[in-house]
Structures are given as structure tokens and as C-alpha cells.
């Protein structure tokens, strides 16, 4: 779904037939300014949703900006009714997306100075992948494939179903899409390299094993590491010489950032 479609779906879910509280309590001609303010340090993502929610925006910071507690993400002026009715949806998006961007930046910072880049994954909230991957990018992560349609990633179950590493790789010879294959054992690693694999995924290996295998690969293929890699262990994995670390936690486990909306009349 596009960002516009996602916003429309969220508004329909929340507003439904109308915001009865606001319509009863707030005069229709009342004007106000809404200020969206962070209560904790955060990397910002999702500001492109403000025009979709409010039409016009007085001021916003850029995606990827780092704000300290008390700093303003955006300022919107308009109908007090509109500002109030869409406040919760705006905050839901901002808190979630800034959380992803903030966690992504922590992973990126954890591997700073190495050659390793941080990748996001497909472990996203159904319907929100477009926005969540945008947020990961705002935090400095590199987007992996968007879905099953734009790259070939042969995982362990594909290898089993295909009949082995060679069979799986042979079946992809004529595709124009990038091809990556997961290897689970040293024998699979050697077989994949013998078959000409150019991108390898090493999943759930220790840093010591990863370092040994990266040394054996010796640049013949790019190397992605994955499988339970945390902020605490990311540096050790990055120092193995791998090209990429993928971390599903960036999108599936990011904590929402504390953001509030301050309404001022006038």
C-alpha cells in the first residue's frame, strides 16, 4: 500500500462515522496550532505523513534528524477540530516510525568504523512495510528486498524443497534478479561457492565461525549475517569482515518513542 492509502485506512479505522467528542465540544470555527514534541532523544521518521493528514504543515524537521527532549518535530495550524480528530493517528505513526528509526541508528552506530552495513528485513507489520522500511532508512539502515518479488533469497527450507544447494542455485540461472543463498553448514558453504554463488547468508552462526567462513570466502561472494544479532553483539559480528548484518528487531521490536501533541489556541 502507498503512504496515502495507509493513512486513509488508519483514519477510517479511528474516526469511522465521526469524532463525536470533538464535534460536541469544539466550535467548528475555532483555530489552533498543534506542536508535536519529543519527550526523549529520537531519530525522526514519518514527517512526510503530515501533509497527508493535515493538508498543509507550518514546519517540520527532516527525516533522519536527531532531536533532544523538548524539541519540536512539526507544527501544524488549522481547524481545531481537524487537529484533534487526527491527533491520535498522527502520534501512532510518529511514535512507531521514530522508534524504528531510532533503533536502526543504534545498530548503525554499533558497527561504525567497520565495512559492515545494517539491513532491515521483511519482519514488518502487515500493511505497514512501506513506512517501516522508510523509517529504517531514515535511521541509516539499508533496505533489503521489499518483498518476495524483487530478489531471490534461497533459505534453508527452499534448499530442502529444491533438493539441495546445487539444485536450488541451478534453478535460478536465468533470472535477472539478484540471488542470495543461505548456507547452514561448512559443506553447504563450499558447495554454494563451487556453484558460483555471489551472495551468501550465514544464519545463526557464532562470530568466531562467521570470521572463519568470511576468511575462506575471501571476497568471492558478499556475506550477510543474521539470526538473533543484538545491539550488544552487532559489533563482534561486524568485525568478522561481513558485508551486511540483517536485524529483524529493527522493525518488529522497536520501542515507540515518547512524543506528545501540544494544542494551542489561535
Q: What is the CATH number of the domain that holds 172?
A: 3.20.20.70
Q: In this predicted model, what pLDDT tens digit does every residue of 17-26 receive, in sequence order?
A: 999 999 999 9
Q: Is the alpha carbon torsion for 126, 130, 131, 134 positive or negative?
A: positive
Within 13 Å, how many C-alpha atoms sit on residue 122's CB side? 8
- Segments forming the whole domain that contains residue 158: 106-252
CA gap 118, 50 in Å, rounded: 28
The active-site residue, picked from 106, 155, 184, 211, is: 155
Beta strand 72-79 with 244-246: parallel, antiparallel or unpaired?
Answer: unpaired
Phi/psi at 90 (nearest 5 deg)? -60, -45
Determine the pLDDT at residue 250: 98
81 and 113 housed in the same domain: no
Which among 162, 159, 163 has a CA at the least distance from the CA of 182?
A: 159
Look up 182 and say whether it is catalytic.
yes
How many domains are there within the chain?
2
32 and 79 housed in the same domain: yes
40 and 21 housed in the same domain: yes
The active-site residue, picked from 77, 123, 184, 235, is: 123
54 and 124 housed in the same domain: no
Look up 203 and say whether it is catalytic.
yes
Q: What is the CATH number of the domain that holds 53?
A: 3.90.1170.20
187 and 116 housed in the same domain: yes
Determine the pLDDT at residue 98: 98
CB 44 within 8 A of CB 61: yes
Look up 133 and say whether it is catalytic.
no
Determine the pLDDT at residue 1: 84
Look up 224 and say whether it is catalytic.
no
114 and 97 housed in the same domain: no
46 and 151 housed in the same domain: no
246 and 139 housed in the same domain: yes
54 and 158 housed in the same domain: no
pTM as predicted: 0.96
The ranges of the chain with pLDDT < 50 are none
146 and 87 housed in the same domain: no
The active-site residue, picked from 35, 77, 88, 184, is: 88
Look up 173 and say whether it is catalytic.
no
168 and 134 housed in the same domain: yes
The active-site residue, picked from 182, 188, 224, 243, is: 182
Determine the pLDDT at residue 266: 79
CB 7 within 8 A of CB 53: yes
Q: In this predicted model, what pLDDT tens digit does every residue of 213-225 receive, in sequence order?
A: 999 999 999 999 9
The active-site residue, picked from 14, 203, 239, 258, is: 203
Amino acid at each position: 500500500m502507498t503512504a496515502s492509502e495507509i493513512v486513509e485506512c488508519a483514519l477510517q479505522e479511528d474516526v469511522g462515522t465521526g469524532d463525536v467528542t470533538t464535534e460536541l465540544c469544539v466550535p467548528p470555527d475555532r483555530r489552533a496550532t498543534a506542536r508535536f514534541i519529543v519527550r526523549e532523544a529520537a531519530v525522526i521518521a514519518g514527517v512526510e505523513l503530515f501533509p497527508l493528514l493535515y493538508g498543509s504543515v507550518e514546519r517540520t524537521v527532516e527525516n533522519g534528524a536527531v532531536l533532544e527532549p523538548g524539541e519540536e518535530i512539526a507544527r501544524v495550524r488549522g481547524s481545531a477540530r481537524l487537529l484533534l480528530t487526527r491527533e491520535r493517528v498522527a502520534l501512532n505513526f510518529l511514535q512507531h516510525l521514530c522508534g524504528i528509526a531510532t533503533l536502526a541508528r543504534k545498530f548503525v552506530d554499533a558497527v561504525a568504523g567497520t565495512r559492515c552495513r545494517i539491513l532491515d528485513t521483511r519482519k514488518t507489520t502487515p500493511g505497514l512495510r512501506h513506512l517501516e522500511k522508510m523509517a529504517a532508512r531514515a535511521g541509516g539502515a539499508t533496505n533489503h528486498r521489499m518483498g518476495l518479488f524483487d530478489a531471490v533469497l534461497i533459505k534453508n527450507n527452499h534448499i530442502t524443497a529444491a533438493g539441495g544447494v546445487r539444485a536450488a542455485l541451478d534453478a535460478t540461472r536465468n533470472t535477472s534478479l539478484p540471488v542470495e543463498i543461505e548456507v547452514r553448514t561448512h559443506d553447504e558453504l563450499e558447495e554454494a561457492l563451487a556453484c558460483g554463488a555471489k551472495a551468501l547468508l550465514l544464519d545463526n552462526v557464532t562470530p568466531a565461525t562467521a570470521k572463519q567462513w568470511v576468511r575462506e570466502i575471501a571476497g568471492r561472494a558478499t556475506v550477510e549475517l543474521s539470526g538473533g544479532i543484538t545491539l550488544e553483539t552487532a559489533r563482534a559480528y561486524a568485525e568478522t569482515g561481513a558485508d551486511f548484518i540483517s536485524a529483524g528487531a529493527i522493525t518488529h521490536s522497536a520501542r515507540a518513542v515518547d512524543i506528545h501533541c501540544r494544542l494551542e489556541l489561535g
